Structure 1
Amino acid sequence: MSYKIVVDSCGELTEEMKQSEHFVTASLEIEVDGYHIIDDATFDQKDFLRRVAAASECPKSSCPSPERYMEMYHCDAEHVYAVTLSAELSGSYNSAELGKNLYKEEYGEKQIHVFNSKSASVGETLIALKIAECEEKQMSFEEIIKTVDAYIEEQHTYFVLETLETLKKNGRLTGIKAMMATALNIKPVMGSTPIGSICQLGQGRGMKKAIEKMVAQVKKDAIRPEEKILAITHCNCPERAEDMKKMVQEQMKVKDIIVLDTAGISSMYAADGGVILVV
């Protein structure tokens, strides 16, 4: 059965995924002080971080239009899936759902399913890989939806950032008490809730301590980690990501670990030096 997986650009693709005909990216867009960026293969992280550092205003993002999703669903594949940013954090999920309705009005019936990742960044990557794994096992469309939904329910997302300013200013931290003890270099350990919003899990003095606490939390929460791929993504701090990978390997057994650089939207929210971990 032929299949296609549309991942919004908050989800980073591995090199193998980029080479594969099964995965495509629906690009979000970013605005930094009037400068327009499309989050696709042309995204230049260093230039972006330089622009953000010099900007007088916080960067803003916009999701793909329903029409854009509709165009991406219009292909030869019999099964089409979309994986989007958490519906609690972005309009991308609603846009992908509207695109499905538009497709049906325009072209008729097709097996299309939109997954709300309830996550972001490499959380979406892992969900897309899970869909592909199910397709390769030749499971039915309905079975795949059921299996992937169960996988999403068990998935946890964690992150430690140098700054939460962009998340805060763009209204992504609603309901979280102010925790910016910057003078003391306190770094909050953040995570996803079951519905896909953001919560605080703990904190540490400095990035190293906060990351140690995050990895301890990952170990505590993980459900059958030996059967799962753990993914790490970092914004302009490869050494930090490698240290995290070693820390995880020393403390728990996982099926595999992938480490990626943040694409545009994840770079915008993670900010310079931020790290995200999903399992």
Structure 2
Amino acid sequence: MEPRQPHADDTARTDPQHPGHPAAAAAACTTLAALDERVTHCRACPRLVAWREEAARTKRRAFLADDYWARPIPGFGPADAPLVLLGLAPAAHGANRTGRIFTGDPSGDLLYAALHELGLASQPRATWRDDGMVLHGVRITDPVRCCPPENRPTPEERDTCGPWIAREFDHLRPTVRTVVALGGFAWQAALPVLAAHWRIPRPRPVFGHGARVTLSAADGGAPLELLGCYHVSPRNTYTGRLTPAMLRDLLAAAAESAGLR
């Protein structure tokens, strides 16, 4: 990888009061649409910025003709969604290429096919950010918005990125009723974020496929159902740890919990 050149926005990564730092930038977004647009300009994590841009320069042979997005990925789905699916981070040659979460890779192929089968997505396959895909009552998002090397963001990167997902849930709070954490990373990242509006039991609930916990409201609003699901990564799906039937059944239960079925 070539040495990363300094960028004018790099000072934002250490000062939460800096307008470019996720903490200040997210807090300033008064609508979800504004948040989705603002996050695409974030450069707070040097390692992730370098990695996402390197992936866009080198590309995979199958995608040499593609113009990579190579920016942070916003959430996708309606602002009044009662069901939220929470992943890990974009894939270097998936969402980092196509510009939309879980789009253009095997994980997304499985996820959108299941959502379409349940009537929650307008088409079974997601290929590009402007392919016409529409989600019905579902929003998909990640706690880390840039693709990390080996799909492993550091704790510091997770925490730096945290204000984006926290602010997203501030805007989703009036309508969200169910959250599905796709994998243990998403589960652990979700708990401190959800604690802003819901009470987290002690000891903290443990992740597992099919794990389910009801969180009572801490702010006078509605309670929340948190469900765990194995991540839709090839590592899980190609080995049979997560089958299409398992995913569909869990998403069906989540949709019912959210009032979508």
TM-score, normalisation: structure 1: 0.27
Structure exhibiting the larger radius of gyration computed from Cα positions: 1
Q: Which has the higher strand share?
A: 1
TM-score, normalisation: structure 2: 0.28
